[in-house]
Amino acid sequence: MDVQYEVPPQQVDKEFHYNFPTEIERSLTSVFAPRNILIVGAGIAGISCALALSKELTPFVPDLQITLFERHDVLSTSGGAINLTPVAQRHLDRLGVLEELDKMGSEGGTDVDAIEMFSARTGRPLGNIDFTDANGNGFGGYKGRRVMRIILSVAMLTVVERTKNIKMVYGKKLVRGEENEDQATLHFQDGTTATGDLVLGCDGVHSATRTHWVSPDCPSEYTGISFVQTVIDTNSIKSPIHFRSTSMNISRHGSLLASFCDREHEQIFLAAIVQFNEAHLPYCRIENGQDFVTQHRIKNLLHDQMQSRFGRSGIPCIREMATKSGDWMLYPVYQVRPGARWHTDRALLLGDAAHAMPPRDESAAYALDDSILFSRILAKHRHEPLPVAFKAYEDLRRNTVTTAFKASRRMWEKNRDLGFLEGRLKEWTLPFYIRNSKEQREAAWEFDATKITIPAPVEDSSMYSFGKSDCS
Ligand SMILES: Cc1cc2nc3c(=O)[nH]c(=O)nc-3n(C[C@H](O)[C@H](O)[C@H](O)COP(=O)(O)OP(=O)(O)OC[C@H]3O[C@@H](n4cnc5c(N)ncnc54)[C@H](O)[C@@H]3O)c2cc1C
């Protein structure tokens, strides 16, 4: 077995592997290294963080215990399908999740070589967001993948189940948290509490960890855009399918994503990305406990929306898809403006809880990057108090995330309803935008959070660079 801790730090950072400590190191880490870690939320950030922490810290903290608290009683089946970029796939592979997805056969998702962009009006191809290089190879060996969210969750939980120091507790909705010098306490809606050394708030865009504890002045806000989603059987569509695996069909009334979501291409995930008035949201969301009449009214309303926005498309299968399904669901998209405070002395926000941005198919990768980077930093800073690791993490991460937020925002604006001329302009300029941003996009897919060098711990008195939130 390699004794990795003897390798100089720069070389250790190049690999994502266990560092096997000596007995002396073990006793040294006992002072500050957290033993009892509480994670709020079992989404992509929460589960990946639990797995990455177990991998990175277990060699130094043999009695490590990580507990995931999820508000739902069972896995949520809502949310449709998600696109995983090459970066996300690489991380999931290293965490053992991709192997589980692959074992699931067709349901484990479909390879995505490219998102093909089309004018919904004329059917004209506008360019591709490629997940392969000129030779058809994935970036670092990984292409894109579209998979149902529930299937991804099942694969992640399978890995959690076989990781002996991670425990999953369902039906625990965080309502508030508090901390003192020695520990942090979570308070759940059912009146119970949990106490630990370190809390990771991975509870998504509406995070209670953020709004009731770490950064109360940074609420989530509606972006003005919603997804209207459904899944249909491929063989219910009679017109020829115009895309290989995933298409984005652009119009001046929003964009319609149509993508296979299983390996056998038996199902198509449809998601219209459209402007939707905030005042109308409460009347358009299907909720548990609603009566049949209300649900029927909402479904008809969304069906009419789809028909009026995409029912006259120049692409026959898009026309058919838009008018066919009666099962559309509305998902309003929220964001958290850059500037939220990310940590206190014992709690840190990760994933959407810290920086939810309008999705452009990359946000899951950001949540995974967060988890892996933080776990590596915590392992490296295990001899220091937690805020030192928090600050090192924030120093490495804050600018990247703020830049990504701004880029997402700019892209997102293109989904607003446009006038006739603006709509044409969007169609004409999109191919240039896709070509011009290709290099930047592909560089991002080469990014590897397991390889970037983590600065060595330094004495620093200004640990709270973001002591105050600024979400304006
Ligand atoms: C409509 C839509 C489509 C998207 N499509 C894509 C895509 O194709 N590709 C992509 O990369 N990204 C996409 N994203 C973004 C992506 O889904 C998120 O960035 C990602 O899920 C963030 O993971 P997370 O774990 O931080 O948050 P979440 O996935 O939201 O997980 C948070 C978890 O915390 C739990 N929780 C919440 N509150 C509490 C509480 N108080 N107590 C306990 N538990 C709690 C929730 O139940 C959930 O399990 C999309 C987002 C939206 C809204």
DSSP string, 151-209: HHHHHHHHHHHT-TTEEEE-S--EEEEEE-SS-EEEEETTS-EEEESEEEE---TT-HH
Q: How many angstroms is it from 204 CA to the middle of ligand 1?
A: 5
Q: How many angstroms is it from 356 CA to the middle of ligand 1?
A: 9
pTM: 0.89
* C-alpha span between 449 and 401 (Å, rounded): 13
Q: How many angstroms is it from 174 CA to the middle of ligand 1?
A: 16
pLDDT at 275 over 50: yes
> Can you give the pLDDT at residue 134?
85
- β-pairing, 125-130 vs 114-119, is antiparallel
| Average pLDDT of the segment spanning 395-422 | 82
Ligand 1 near 227 CB (within 6 A): yes
| Average pLDDT of the segment spanning 283-310 | 89
Nearest to 229 by CA among 328, 305, 303: 328
Predicted confidence (pLDDT) per residue in 133-169, tens digit: 888 899 889 999 999 999 999 999 999 999 999 999 9
Average pLDDT in the chain: 87
Ligand 1 near 334 CB (within 6 A): no
Ligand 1 near 83 CB (within 6 A): yes
Ligand 1 near 387 CB (within 6 A): no
Contact (Cβ atoms closer than 8 angstroms) between residue 253 and residue 260: no
Q: How many angstroms is it from 460 CA to the middle of ligand 1?
A: 34
Domains in the chain, ordered, with CATH? Answer: 4-74+170-220+336-414 (3.50.50.60), 109-144+223-333 (3.30.9.30)
DSSP single-letter state for residue 461: S
Ligand 1, atom 38, lies closest to the CA of 203
Atom of ligand 1 nearest to the CA of 207: 38
Ligand 1 near 44 CB (within 6 A): yes
**CA end-to-end span of the chain, whole Å?**
52
Angle in degrees, CA 161, 141, 59, rounded to 5: 40
Q: Give residues with Cβ within 8 angstroms of 458, minimum separation 6.
A: none
Atom of ligand 1 nearest to the CA of 41: 34
